[in-house]
Structure 1
Amino acid sequence: MDRIAILKIDELNENNLGNDFYANTIPNHLISNHSRIEKPHKHNFYATILFTKGTGVHEIDFSVYDVRPGSVFLLAPGQTHSWELSEDIDGFIFFHTQEFFDMVFVRERIREYPIYTSVYHSSAIYISGSFLQHISQLFEQILLEYKSSQWKKHQLILNISSQLYIELNRFAIAEEDFPSAHFSQYNFRFLEFEDLLETHFLKVKSPAQYADWLHITPKHLNRITRSLVNKTTTDIILERVVLEAKRMLIYTGKSFNEIASLLGYEDYSYFSKLFKKRSGETPRDFLKRYE
């Protein structure tokens, strides 16, 4: 099956931190990796991006965000993104693997930070004023340390990155309607559900099966999803299917029937109706908007 290109961190890294971390200014990143990033692509790593100058649009899994000074984007592995940027664009970018973070902070995981707890949270944060200046300085410190050969640079980069994540997440929690009730006790289960869904959604569409794998009842799983993202378990499963269908329609060149079959639907007519119900348009109408 043809797939969207997946950018790997070891294709970018020319630094002695191995294949776990990469940092650059946005202009240098665009110049150095033009051939790899000119088309929509996924990452196998976490990406954090700050724009300090210029304008544009950034599309992440078919959600379109404005790019302007103070735009911060946090992308998890597997998200498809592309952008159109003005010539005067500037800012900072860093990438790291999940292992880079999780192997040191043994009592917490990067995915447990609120901004990464679910694909349903916005990938964009807009900051300004003194907070923008402060966050810019943290990005600058990360880049300077990345380019250095100082003692324990890996540890210092990790500490600055962790501080940056904490402060951005605090800002996001204050600005957005992040769920608070039941957050700590439901969050871990929801992460497990999303991990299972990512592995099995092509073949398994049954909420009961996911609940069984999690050793809870379907009713309880539904309670968790409604509490955290105000969607049913079925909603989440089918939205993940439709997201993959959109990716395939745009990026693989597969026929409508082939895509339906790859997603587990032998009856294209049924799949087309499901797609329209979930996205508001047929697969053909959706594709026309990207031709």
Structure 2
Amino acid sequence: MKNLPVLNIEQFEEEKSLINFYSNDLGIHLKKNKAIVHKSHSHNFFLCVFFSEGNGIHEIDFNTYKVKTGSVFFLRPGQTHSWKFDSAPKGYIFFHTQDFYKFYFLNKELSQFPFYYSYKNPPNLLLISEERTEIELRFKEINNEYHKKLSYQNQKLVSLINLVYIDLSRIYSAIEPRKEVLSSSYLQTFNNLEKTIEQFYKTEKSANFYADKLSITTKHLNRITKATINKTTTEFITERLLLEAKRHIVHSKNSLSTTAEILGYDDYAYFSRLFKLKEGITPMDFRKKYNANI
């Protein structure tokens, strides 16, 4: 997708020596980067933003979320998004690479936090007034530390973001409880499945392939995906393909047949029928509808 900007941390604050982490007052950040942040784009880093004030719309991977006072959003690398505000927002934003976190927490993954666990988990949170006060202080402390030049800066920053992720995970888990208690083995297998799909979905589309990769039966893998997200493995694979298809359809100038080929479909007619069956609209009509709303 040559026409979809993929932003790097270095683009936002070139004078800083920290190239794996960035933080700023949200109003300053949006004003300084107004040429890029309001257009659809993706990142190669993890992003977290807190709104102490503001109203508007945040589109993430073709889903629309309301921006309100107390909103928090979480984005993983590769997700596309754009903003539309009804009034000037206030708050804080920070982002960082996977390596920045992993360097100091060798045995921990960002996927331990529910908002980064899966693309299927909601990427947003709305805090009540009592929660906002404490979380805002966390974000403010992160931002203050980032703009200082003190020793042990990286160590403190990664400790602070770990704390805010823990606080937000507690709130998130209370609002988005699991309908049933799933075993840790189910959750780990699902996490491994999502990573494997991300690696092979353009060329491998059968549930059998992924079951073999995970050394379990297709029946058991289906049992896990049904228990975890209430979808079959095939449905989960297809959803990932269609998300990528949408990204290509609206953010690239490739022909629709070329997009189908990139995603492993030599027969465009079949791809178009599959897209319409799942989305209720043809790829061409999806492109026209999306562009008409920009």
| TM-score > 0.5, shorter chain as reference | yes
The question of whether the paired residues in 1 share the 8 Å contact of 2:37 and 2:83 is answered with no
Report the counterpart of residue 61 of structure 1 in structure 2: 61
**Residues 161-193 of structure 1: CA deviation (Å, up to 9, x unaligned):** 111111111111111133552342222222221
Which amino acid in the other structure matches residue 264 of structure 2?
G
Q: Is the deviation greater in 180-189 or in 34-43?
A: 180-189
The question of whether the paired residues in 1 share the 8 Å contact of 2:21 and 2:95 is answered with yes
The question of whether the paired residues in 2 share the 8 Å contact of 1:72 and 1:125 is answered with yes
The question of whether the paired residues in 2 share the 8 Å contact of 1:15 and 1:22 is answered with no
Q: Percent identity?
A: 39
**Residues 38-97 of structure 1: CA deviation (Å, up to 9, x unaligned):** 321111110000111121100000110000110100111111101101342111100011
Structure 2 Cα separation of the partners of residues 217 and 117 of structure 1: 23
**Residues 13-32 of structure 1: CA deviation (Å, up to 9, x unaligned):** 34645211000011111122
Which amino acid in the other structure matches residue 41 of structure 1?
H
Which amino acid in the other structure matches residue 199 of structure 1?
Q
Matches within 5 A, 1:94-243: 94-178=94-178, 181-243=181-243
The alpha carbon displacement at 1:127 in A equals 0.5
The question of whether the paired residues in 2 share the 8 Å contact of 1:179 and 1:228 is answered with no
The question of whether the paired residues in 2 share the 8 Å contact of 1:49 and 1:73 is answered with yes
Are residue 81 (structure 1) and residue 91 (structure 2) matched?
no
SS in 2 for 1:47: strand
**Residues 117-169 of structure 1: CA deviation (Å, up to 9, x unaligned):** 11111101000211111101100000000011223222221111111111111
Which amino acid in the other structure matches residue 162 of structure 1?
N
SS in 2 for 1:59: strand
Q: What's the C-alpha RMSD, in Å, of the aligned pairs? A: 1.6
Q: Is the deviation greater in 70-79 or in 222-231?
A: 222-231
Which amino acid in the other structure matches residue 277 of structure 2?
K
Matches within 5 A, 1:224-263: 224-263=224-263
The alpha carbon displacement at 1:284 in A equals 2.2
Report the counterpart of residue 7 of structure 2 in structure 1: 7
Report the counterpart of residue 20 of structure 2 in structure 1: 20
User: Which blocks of at least 5 consecutive residues in structure 2 are unaligned?
Assistant: none
Structure 1 Cα separation of the partners of residues 168 and 180 of structure 2: 17
SS in 2 for 1:103: helix
Structure 1 Cα separation of the partners of residues 21 and 15 of structure 2: 8
SS in 2 for 1:188: helix
Which amino acid in the other structure matches residue 157 of structure 1?
L
Q: Is the deviation greater in 29-38 or in 122-131?
A: 29-38
Structure 1 Cα separation of the partners of residues 88 and 41 of structure 2: 23
The two structures have a TM-score, normalised by structure 1, of 0.95
SS in 1 for 2:208: helix
SS in 2 for 1:23: strand
The question of whether the paired residues in 1 share the 8 Å contact of 2:54 and 2:69 is answered with yes
Which amino acid in the other structure matches residue 18 of structure 1?
L
Q: Is the deviation greater in 107-116 or in 174-183?
A: 174-183
User: Which blocks of at least 5 consecutive residues in structure 1 are unaligned?
Assistant: none
Structure 2 Cα separation of the partners of residues 16 and 286 of structure 1: 41
**What count of residue pairs does the alignment treat as equivalent?**
291
Structure 2 Cα separation of the partners of residues 222 and 12 of structure 1: 43
Which amino acid in the other structure matches residue 121 of structure 2?
H
Structure 2 Cα separation of the partners of residues 17 and 170 of structure 1: 33
SS in 1 for 2:104: coil
SS in 2 for 1:243: helix
Are residue 289 (structure 1) and residue 289 (structure 2) matched?
yes
The alpha carbon displacement at 1:3 in A equals 5.4
Structure 2 Cα separation of the partners of residues 180 and 104 of structure 1: 33
